[in-house]
Amino acid sequence: MSKFEKLNVKIRDGKGSPSARRTRLKDQIPAVLYHSGLDAISLSVDKKELYKALKTGQVIFEITVKDENQFVLVKEVQYHPVYDNIMHIDFQKVKEDEKISLEVPLRVTGEAEGVQAGGILVQIVNTITVKCKPTTIPDALIIDVTDLELNSSLFVKDIQLAADVEIITAEDLAVVSVQEPKKEEEIVEEIVEEMLEGEEGIEVEGEESAGDKDDSSATKKEEDSDGKDQKSKEEKQK
């Protein structure tokens, strides 16, 4: 018996937006099945059944298309930008004995020494890319932070691996750390620095700098002075 949940699908007639809209009006979700070297197949999935299946956290399901049972990986789920409803879903056909790449959640276990010393645990990465067979996909990868000290980090290479699972994500990537809590003064200083950095280099169009204004005023005074001297000379000659 397959470890993957069964998902009932139907072949969908037509392509494009009109076909997709008609499908949604029937409480079905339009879908597409991709397979390397073959044309994509337009499908539809019952809306309630799909929502229920995705809530299990599984990313691979068993479907039947043209009387053939096959495994499919959920490659992309498109949501409505406002109502957050599923608008479309893409499946990719996979083989049970072939390795595939996908992201799995990263979970933290244990209480860090640094936290007991007053630090704050920060999880930097939430998912890790792995490569494995569909039958060995882990529900999550686990990293033990028990020995993590204050101002220290754990990396991808520190993650506990299950058998037949290969990590694709760079092993020197920090995934979790324990940091000292920031004081209120430090937070205020960071905010002030960000504000000052944002103001640097900003020029208002049409405004002159203080130096430009001073130069302009000095030039005007010199011109007025020269004019008065010339007028005085002319009156004496008369």
Question: Tens of pLDDT along 63-106?
Answer: 988 888 889 999 899 999 898 899 999 999 998 888 988 889 99
Structure confidence at residue 149 as a pLDDT band (50, 70, 90) = very high
CB 130 within 8 A of CB 168: yes
Q: Which of 112-126, 130-144, 152-166, 184-198 has the lowest mean pLDDT?
A: 184-198
Of 66, 70, 29, the closest CA to residue 46 belongs to 29
168 lies in the same domain as 109? yes
Alpha-carbon distance 121 to 180, whole Å? 9
Q: In this predicted structure, what is the pLDDT of residue 209?
A: 46
- Assess whether pLDDT exceeds 70 at residue 22: yes
CB 159 within 8 A of CB 135: no
Q: Return the percentage of the chain with pLDDT > 90, whole number.
A: 41
This prediction's pTM: 0.62
- Assess whether pLDDT exceeds 90 at residue 144: yes
Q: What is the mean pLDDT of the chain?
A: 81
Q: In this predicted structure, what is the pLDDT of residue 45?
A: 93
CATH number of the domain at 75, please. 2.40.240.10
Of 121, 132, 122, the closest CA to residue 165 belongs to 132
50 lies in the same domain as 121? no
In this structure, which long-range contacts are made by residues 222-226, counting pairs with CB atoms below 8 Å and at least 24 apart in sequence?
none
Pick the residue with more confidence: 222 or 94? 94
Which of 78, 94, 110 is a domain's end point? 94
Q: In this predicted structure, what is the pLDDT of residue 191?
A: 62
Which of 137, 163, 184 is a domain's end point? 184
Residue type, 115: V
Pick the residue with more confidence: 121 or 198? 121
Is 206 part of any domain? no
Q: Tally the domains of the chain.
A: 2
Give residues with Cβ within 8 angstroms of 198, minimum separation 6.
Answer: none
CB 60 within 8 A of CB 74: yes
Q: Which of 86-90, 139-143, 178-182, 186-190 has the lowest mean pLDDT?
A: 186-190
105 lies in the same domain as 179? yes
Alpha-carbon distance 150 to 148, whole Å? 7
Of 45, 129, 40, the closest CA to residue 93 belongs to 40
Write out the residue range of the structural domain in which residue 146 sits: 101-184
Compute the chain's Rg from CA coordinates.
33
Alpha-carbon distance 160 to 176, whole Å? 14
CB 69 within 8 A of CB 62: yes
